[in-house]
A and B are shown apart, each in its own frame.
Chain A
Amino acid sequence: MPAPIRLRELIRTIRTARTQAEEREMIQKECAAIRSSFREEDNTYRCRNVAKLLYMHMLGYPAHFGQLECLKLIASQKFTDKRIGYLGAMLLLDERQDVHLLMTNCIKNDLNHSTQYVQGLALCTLGCMGSSEMCRDLAGEVEKLLKTSNSYLRKKAALCAVHVIRKVPELMEMFLPATKNLLNEKNHGVLHTSVVLLTEMCERSPDMLAHFRKVGLVPQLVRILKNLIMSGYSPEHDVSGISDPFLQVRILRLLRILGRNDDDSSEAMNDILAQVATNTETSKNVGNAILYETVLTIMDIKSESGLRVLAINILGRFLLNNDKNIRYVALTSLLKTVQTDHNAVQRHRSTIVDCLKDLDVSIKRRAMELSFALVNGNNVRGMMKELLYFLDSCEPEFKADCASGIFLAAEKYAPSKRWHIDTIMRVLTTAGSYVRDDAVPNLIQLITNSVEMHAYTVQRLYKAILGDYSQQPLVQVASWCIGEYGDLLVSGQCEEEEPIQVTEDEVLDILESVLISNMSASVTRGYALTAIMKLSTRFTCTVNRIKKVVSVYGSSIDVELQQRAVEYNALFKKYDHMRPALLERMPVMEKVTTNGPTEIVQTNGETEPAVLETKPPPSGLQPASQANDLLDLLGESDITPVIPTAPTSKPASAGGELLDLLGDLNLTGSPVSAPVPQIAQPPFLLDGLSSQPLFNDIAAGIPSITAYNKNGLKIDFTFERSNTNPSVTVITIQASNSTELDMTDFVFQAAVPKTFQLQLLSPSSSVIPAFNSGNITQVIKVLNPQKQQLRMRIKLTYNHKGSAMQDLAEVNNFPPQSWQ
């Protein structure tokens, strides 16, 4: 049998194939030849055949029949065979394969081979893809090699150990002794891989982390890093004037883990971080990579404020960098820090806003999220202008999020009602079809509550849909408003703008067009029909026209429309005397504040959600949950995107249930508001960090209680309630410490049963001084609309006498006056 063709020959041949079919044919032919060669147990050319198989595998063809051959190659004594064999194993023999374990013995032998390059192959293979069983079997060998003086092997053993730990975390302990003098090496390969190993151990085990902090790892790392920076040019490790950036970055990352939540470690690395931050050359990507890692470390440890400001400024400079990769990385980091270092990030607001115009989609998205996070009462007008402009021109994938974000921000910070309505209008008209369906009820509620703007709003909405009624959310809101405020529209009363002249017929024209149009969704038609019906009590000349329209739709194919029309018809015929009362103006709905960005309580440079039972903290946008809150609160069964006027949503025949519902109403025709589900909750004050009494009419003195008293820590609750706002109870907690040592890092958390809502404001400090010489005070606001018995579970964490303390307790002794 002639010698099998060489690898490069095969590659050349296959590349001449002009079609996929031709290539497949060549491959099949060669595979057949290889298979018979394997069957003949040809030792000489096995290596060549497997190499060819690997090439074909990369092209996408099956190569499983070569698996056992790889094992044979690994077992061979020839280095060429082993090299290809191990490569084949790494490509074809991952842990899911049955024959994977058969490698174990070979690898074990090769780990002890006399030639370091063979040992290297074994370590590499084990460290890339060894299964858990294999790792368990061979961990001992790896640990041995971790202690060798041969740096070539030592560095590989270190990374192999990392893989073993990832696969079998229980084995971590056995590598601990070997780590003792890993960092004494001069060889950078060993240093780098050792840092990776230490990082893995510290990340996985708090015990290891504590151990390494204790044995002085931080000063050791600081020393190594300092040497790297201060030492002169080293050609072997130099990259654009920086000495071994890979090692620098890994050291900085390990320092981050060591400094996190630990004052002493953080202090020990303060200087070196400042040094790296100020001295690193920023002209090339290399320098910026190091600065980036430095910033991440500074922000994550307990650094002093000067250092944090330095870090944010570095990010600010990154934002101005020509390199878009740097800008991207800066925006990502700023997004992470905007909650904790809000003011510092605000300083870079204009640069961030400029990034909205960037060409890269990822950069734009981050800039948008960051922009929303930075909107506040002071900058809302300017920011909204930019964001509205962005909404106009951005890609469709952004529009929904951007629109929701704008609504949220506008609701929180609108400087005036008119501005608010204008902003909503602008969003509806520019991105009307991207607005989320659940935003419609929210907007309607907003408009209802802006009583003095009704005329202005309905006029603008009318004008908006005159030209184009294809954007469903816009049309829905407009239809609803026209139905409600159509009388204002035709009477031409508008203070804010030049009033337009509209006749009743023109209004009905547009609503009918919406009804007829193919573009209108079924839901939108529902809005339009109901609006037309409402106008029957607001218009004077066109009632007959309305009657006609309504009767036509009594035989509509759309079941929902048909049902409504039939019911409305009934209103005209049998219950005409009730019509005015039923179709009355909607009452002002009590303002519901949605769960906007949760109160983030800053404690010692970290952020924690201050309340245990609220929604997860968002990154500044909460479009969907805001609407869900509203729907939850509405509570009733008839939840559709349509705001119901109560009778029409009952799935029943026209007559019977209508009567039942009306049974309670005053039938003499005096104004009775339609039974709209009451959302009777008082405004939640999201700002107000002071612990001043919040009400002017404080209910008479409620006795205070001691909520917790254990181990020298005492927590007292004092109460305040308002007569006008009885659902809200304000609790001020006072924590005192009667032991002889301070309690530090004190964090108070509270949880309440589901029918309550809780808001926790910032504490006065996090240290309770000893001997009752001072207190921590903190304000809790509890919303208890159902006047249920107040119960609370509290969780306390603090450091005392050098150890971390934690306790859970239930508070059940609330005085009745605090909740009844």
Chain B
Amino acid sequence: MQFMLLFSRQGKLRLQKWYVPLSDKEKKKITRELVQTVLARKPKMCSFLEWRDLKIVYKRLYASLYFCCAIEDQDNELITLEIIHRYVELLDKYFGSVCELDIIFNFEKAYFILDEFLLGGEVQETSKKNVLKAIEQADLLQEVSKFNFSGQSIGTV
């Protein structure tokens, strides 16, 4: 996978994960063009499209949020749909019935979860349970480190 974008029906970016090195300008350009292209798709069309030399797999969820992945020629489109599905499940389990607002207000957590599921554009863990357990433990570690010795809460985000 080269990159994954989450954006709203209005074209607002909610998450961007890039697995290839590109300049900020290029990223903005790609994002703008791709968002436009995907938003122009009609509901009856299939979830795949060719864009530049990449294959784009996208899924529209919760009526307002688009999950969009750019994969390479030898990658399997259908399993990419499953990857998107799995990520949504993870978010759902973590936030408890996730909605777009959760991702907006807790974007850093969305990234943390993604980084336990994918690494370098590939799936690193196929067990839902293990991903969620790792996040849970890391969150705990974060909680613990938030307090100094006198029990004072410091440096919370």
Contact = CB atoms under 8 A, between A and B. Distances in A.
Interface of A: 6-8, 11-12, 15, 43-48, 51, 54-55, 58-60, 78-81, 83-84, 87, 91, 94-96, 115, 117, 120, 123-124, 127-129, 131, 152, 155-156, 159-160, 162-163, 188-189, 192-193, 196, 236-237, 239, 244-247, 249, 253, 285-286, 288-289, 292-293, 296, 324-329, 359-363
Nearest to B16: A58
Contact of B81 (A189, A253, A325): A325
Contact of B76 (A127, A249, A359): A249
Nearest to B121: A128
Given A79-B142, A245-B82, A94 B21 contact: yes
B157 A6 contact: yes
B155 A325 contact: no
A288 B80 CA distance: 12
A159 B138 contact: no
B150 interface: no
B10 interface: no
8 contacts: A44-B155, A79-B145, A80-B156, A96-B23, A159-B119, A249-B79, A289-B78, A359-B42
Overall SS of chain A's interface = helix
A83 B79 contact: no
B63 interface: no
Contact of A362 (B46, B119, B122): B46
B37 to A, nearest CB: 12
B127 interface: yes
A60 B14 CA distance: 11
Task: List the 8 shortest-distance A-B pairs measured between CB atoms, nearest first.
Answer: A289-B78, A189-B125, A324-B46, A79-B145, A159-B119, A289-B79, A127-B120, A163-B120
Contacts of B83: 246
Contact of A360 (B46, B121, B124, B129): B46
A246 B108 contact: no
Nearest to A81: B155
A124 B117 CA distance: 11
B145 A253 contact: no
B126 A247 contact: yes
Contact of A51 (B50, B79, B108, B125): B108
Given A94-B21, A152-B134, A192-B126, A327 B157 contact: no
Contact of B105 (A8, A159, A160): A8
Contacts of A51: 108, 157
Most chain A C-beta atoms within 10 Å of own C-beta, residue among B23, B74, B108: B108
B45 A253 contact: no
Given A115-B141, A156-B124, A189-B130, A325 B46 contact: yes
Interface in B130-149: 130, 134, 137-138, 141-142, 144-146
Contact of A55 (B44, B107, B141, B146): B107
Contact of A289 (B82, B105, B119): B82
Given A293-B76, A329-B77, A128 B16 contact: no
Contacts of A58: 13-16, 107
B124 to A, nearest CB: 5
A486 to B, nearest CB: 48
A115 B141 CA distance: 10
Contacts of A96: 21, 23
Contact of A193 (B47, B79, B104, B124): B124
Interface in B14-35: 14-16, 18-19, 21-23, 28
Contact of B44 (A91, A162, A245, A360): A360
Contacts of A44: 154-155
A253 B72 CA distance: 14
Contacts of A47: 155, 157
A78 B123 CA distance: 28
Interface string B43-83: 01111111000000000000000000000001011110111
A162 B45 contact: no
B76 A285 contact: no
Contacts of A363: 46
Contacts of A189: 124-127, 130
Most chain A C-beta atoms within 10 Å of own C-beta, residue among B12, B120, B141: B120
B95 interface: no
B145 A244 contact: no
A249 B81 CA distance: 13
Given A87-B111, A188-B127, A293-B79, A160 B28 contact: no
A246 B48 CA distance: 19
A237 B121 CA distance: 20
A359 B45 contact: yes
Contacts of B81: 285, 289, 325
A325 B48 contact: yes
B99 to A, nearest CB: 15
A292 B138 CA distance: 37
A362 B123 contact: no
B47 A84 contact: no
B52 to A, nearest CB: 15
A196 B125 CA distance: 12
Contacts of B130: 189, 236
A83 B146 CA distance: 12
